[in-house]
Amino acid sequence: MPGPESTITATAAGTFTLGDLTVTRMGFGSMRLTVSRDVERALTVLRRAAELGVNHVDTAAFYVSPGGILEGDPGPPRYATELIREALAPYDDLVITTKVGPGIREDGTFYQASTADDLRRQVEENLRRLGVDRLDVVNLRIIKKAGKDSVAERFEALARMREEGLVRHLGLSNVRLDHLVEAQRIAPVVCVQNSYALDNQQDAPLLRACGQRGIAFVPFFAIAGSGREKGPVSSHAPGLSQVARAHGVTEQQVRLAWTLHQGRHVLAIPGTGNPDHLDENIAAAAIRLSQEELAILT
């Protein structure tokens, strides 16, 4: 990695295309911006990400702070989409990927969109809060169930909105390979976003299938792994700590580097509300792991 006197940017990991949109493989996930109500800190993180060359920001209409939502919690809710607009609009070369499917009601409870009208309302909400006329990428996020189920009806609804010009490109989130095959019969799919990490490789066949099809595979919880929404785990496998020490970096940075080494079509969207952690995450774009180190990790 470059010395401490140099600034590592997201471009160190290279780029990939989502349809006709070129994005940095090291991106930013906005979910954790809503964990606290420190708006200025959140805006600082977003602007710093842009300064560090990130041009791929992941979000969703249901990423919202607890303020004004939970009983006894004062203040209006803050939506990640609104924070992105305040910090980064006009967006210039920025590509914003959002999700529809899960929704949040005024009382703070979540629901899963099941009709075309539900999905249209969520798309329109994203358009309004981001302040745009067309969304770059919309992922259909589903609740993945065991057994046979279909995404056809919901994906067809999004495909119609794409034809209307409300959406530029479509993707999928939290899906199986058969969902991807089904969706591709309806409209082009530019990305698949699933939980995937060093200690959670159940979707390795789906990752490989995306590479074969020229589709971006975008892991979430790449750092948190099995910790998921709770955040990064505090204990690490000996091999992970060994590789981290060899590079003089943190175990979390090695997790991100490992993610980017899983294929040129694999993107990273680590999220944080901490400016210092942001710099560390972006710096992971420059870590190059040897085949021996990858074998140790795997």
Catalytic residues: 63
- What is the distance between the alpha carbons of residues 59 and 23, in angstroms, rounded to a whole number? 15
In which residue are the tokens 């940075």 written? 253
DSSP annotation string for 59-107: --TT-B-STTTSTT--S---BHHHHHHHHH-S-TT-EEEEEESEEE-TT
For 198, the 3-state DSSP assignment is coil
- How open is the CA angle 186-213-144, to the nearest 5 degrees? 60
Are residues 32 and 3 in contact, defined by beta-carbon separation less than 8 angstroms? no
| 69-73 CB contacts, 8 Å cutoff, 24+ apart | 69/104, 69/107, 69/108, 70/108
Q: How far apart are the first and last CA of the chain?
A: 22
Both tokens assigned to 22: 């070129």
